[in-house]
Amino acid sequence: MRRLWLFSIALLLAAGCAPESDNPLGSGLDDRPGQEVHTLIIEPGPGWVDTGYHGYGNTDGALTLAVGRVGDTLVRCLVDFSLEDLPDEVTASSLYRARVEYYYAQSPGIANWRPFSQGSLAVGVYAVTSEWLAGRATWLERTADEEWEEPGADYTGPFSSFLLDEAPRDYGEIRSFDVTDLVRWWLANPESEFGLLLAALDEGAARVVKEFYSDDIENSANRPHLVVVWESSTGTKKEHRLEAHQDVYIAHDLSQPDSAVYGSSPELPLSAAFGTGGRLAFNFDLSLLPPEATVNLAELELYADFPGRDAARAVAVHPLDEEGLTETRSQGALRRLALSDARVSGGLEPVPPGYVKVNLTAVIQDWIAGLTEQRGLVLKLSDERGYADPVALRTQEAGEGRRPRLVIKYTLPPDFWYNEEPSQNNLTSE
């Protein structure tokens, strides 16, 4: 027993005197012989692509709908009510009146950007003429597979208009606008009922965005409702309320024409503005990463310049689903590149001008393993529905000390010997 006790003490002393591992990734990696951690630094050069564009995000799930204009950003909203749920007595001839009710407020509970909401806005009420899905609709797309015939939705009208003045500040109130002529037209032509579109009557002059609650707000009483009044066969007037079946808002940045190309810009914005967003796209030459390598960590290091007094940004990484990423592609072409679902998302913490890191480990691992084809990737803010001042990120055209780089930590199998000399001056290994 005494020998066992002395042996245990010896083991503890040996452990306490053992040198700390210099494993740069910590205890998550195996420090056995043959598991040395290697570092591959890929810097701009042959095979490196970085460019940027303003894309359009889907805003289904937002708690508010928005309409109007902020700077160069146009905002429109679509709302659909299922008229087939109306009583059979409601027809084009029996309809007496129809209105849309909405909850209008300006308080912390509603995501109202006060600097952009001052003043009044004349709003037109239009009929949407194509089918759309709230979970897919953007300025360009109406469903997962189909685009609008014209960007910004397919519509006709206006059938009516109304004025949005200053929003009530505290608790808000229910307001309404008339849609009698539009609903009568739908009842007479049910195959043409695809919901309504709200847009500023004069989008060129508008300089304000107004918001009201969407169908995603928790309190159902504050969701948009269609209120229909009709004359029954007995001559009495009856009323029926329909809650919005689906709604979404869509946005367009006028400062980003389809023909513009920004592949040679020294800095590009990562931003969000009411459903549009500044995005960055990248691709890399991974040919010097040994095929037998196990990628433990891959980080894209970007030199960032945050606006003053700013907050953290949640960033999503989307691999591209199709070929076509080049620095000479136009905004219109880049916007139409299909993105796969976000593989990872993390945060960019505000820092003085300097480097921030975006984790690309999952994406690079899939590319190396051949699970997905390497076509490039897109960085975007996780939520483009709100407003976020742009973070300026430097590209390969930036000056020395501010250019991006991809840092990959990897291990090799035990007894593996890799003797290939780097042949490209944009690849270094440590």
Under 8 Å between Cβ of 41 and 428: yes
d(CA 119, CA 202): 14
Tens-binned pLDDT, residue by residue, of the chain (430 aa): 444 343 343 333 333 333 333 333 333 344 445 578 999 999 999 999 999 999 999 999 999 999 999 889 999 999 999 999 999 999 999 999 999 999 998 765 665 556 677 889 999 999 999 999 999 999 999 998 899 999 999 999 999 999 999 888 777 899 999 999 999 999 999 999 999 999 999 999 878 999 999 999 999 999 999 999 999 988 899 999 999 999 999 999 999 999 999 999 999 999 999 899 999 999 999 999 998 899 999 999 999 999 876 778 899 999 999 999 999 999 999 999 999 999 887 888 888 899 999 999 999 999 999 999 999 999 999 999 888 889 999 999 999 999 999 999 999 988 665 555 544 434 444 5
Helix (DSSP H) and strand (DSSP E) numbers for the chain: 4, 23
Report CA 223 to chain centroid distance, whole Å.
24
Residue whose entry in the numeric block shows the structure tokens 């040679």: 264
Instruction: Please name every residue paired with 96 in a beta bridge, in sequence order, or none if there are none.
Output: none
Find, among 95, 80, 82, the residue nearest to 184 by Cα. Answer: 95
- Which tokens sit at 118? 């001052």
Report CA 30 to chain centroid distance, whole Å.
37
What 3-state DSSP class applies to 279? strand
**DSSP states along 235-268:** S-EEEEEEE-SEEEEEEEETTS-TT---TT-SEE
Find, among 45, 107, 145, 62, the residue nearest to 397 by Cα. Answer: 45
pLDDT of residue 113: 57
pLDDT of residue 206: 79
Residues ≥6 apart with Cβ < 8 Å to 307: 389, 390, 391
d(CA 368, CA 408): 12
* Dihedral sign of CA atoms 285, 289, 293, 294 in order: negative
* Amino acid in position 39: T
Find, among 243, 272, 150, the residue nearest to 199 by Cα. Answer: 150
Instruction: Please name every residue paired with 121 in a beta bridge, in sequence order, or none if there are none.
Output: 164
CA diameter of the chain: 105
Under 8 Å between Cβ of 409 and 39: yes
DSSP state of 314: E
d(CA 332, CA 233): 55
* Dihedral sign of CA atoms 108, 113, 117, 122 in order: negative
pLDDT of residue 347: 87
CA geometry: angle at 367 spanning 49 and 31, to 5°? Answer: 110
Under 8 Å between Cβ of 337 and 331: no
Residues ≥6 apart with Cβ < 8 Å to 80: 128, 132, 134, 194, 195, 196, 244, 245, 246, 247
Find, among 269, 273, 271, the residue nearest to 250 by Cα. Answer: 273
Report CA 301 to chain centroid distance, whole Å.
21
d(CA 354, CA 391): 12
What 3-state DSSP class applies to 136? coil
